[in-house]
Amino acid sequence: METLGYYNGAIGLLDELRIPMNDRACWFGDGVYEATVSANYIIFALEEHINRFFNSAALLRMSPTITKTQLAELLNTLVHKVDSPTQFVYWQMTRGTAPRTHTFPEHTAPNLWVMLKPQVFKDIYQKIKLITVEDTRFLHCNIKTLNLLPNVLASEKAKQAGCVEAVFHRGNRITEGSHSNVHILKDGIFRTAPLDNLILPGISRAHIIAHCVKLGIPVDETPFTLEEMFEADEIMISSVSTFCMSASYIDGYQVGGKDPERLRQIQDAFLEEFYQFTQTANHSASGRKQSVHKHGT
């Protein structure tokens, strides 16, 4: 099939599957989610995403009725039912189905959703434009919940401005993007926000830090400011769909472009890991870039 929807064991085309109105996702966004990508029908960093999924559920006092192993087996089975070998792989769990009430319903089992659709990956080396947006979200950004309206509004604002992403800041402190983590390179040091309650612990973020360590690039996980971002040698965003891309403009001002070699080292290392993990290419870095653009992997 071209797309796939899954709901508590029911499988069908994404636009044909039906969800009960009393699922608490409909009333409160009461749930958690995860997302990654697959290439060659291999789901990238699946174990890490499942671990974060279960951690988010625990922070919302939700108890999955499926184990980590069972969830991995289910997702690996489902990706093979979609025609495209490169897919966006999304799943979420809601607290259950019950009449609308603000308190947790009793004796209600959680609902598991899965959504799969074809994915065309972006050119990781393409320069992008960003905007900045005041971060007015709640104080539990480390939990990957379904409550994303501020993120949606910021993403739409970026789109209307002809930009790829919105960078959140609380006062003068940079937190993260509307659907990504934000990093900078300055004086040979990779800087990224600390893992506190103001940012999501990004899987791609963790992989980039590991690559920096291997490459001998120092890592600084302390807050940085708006001014430091604008004055950085390179500004980067990372997510499961963008991998690791760099910005050339923020709020209409030209930025970055001062440390292209170190930036390219990080991007090449990320792509190398992705292709080895998904067994989709074994060419040179430049050849891999062409392969991604041509085949969507």
Is residue 223 within 8 Å of 174, Cβ to Cβ? yes
* Active-site hit among 144, 159, 214, 294: 144
Q: Which of 116, 132, 144, 149 is nearest to 229 (CA)?
A: 132
3-class SS of residue 158 = helix
What distance in Å separates the CA atoms of residue 80 and residue 134, rounded to the nearest whole number? 41
Annotation says 289 is catalytic: no
List, in sequence order, every residue forming a beta bridge with 237; answer none if it has no partner: 182, 245
| Strand residue runs (E) in the chain | 4-7, 10-12, 31-39, 42-43, 87-94, 111-118, 128-134, 165-170, 173-177, 181-186, 189-192, 219-220, 234-239, 243-250, 253-254
Question: At 9, which amino acid appears?
Answer: G
3-class SS of residue 219 = strand
Active site residues: 144
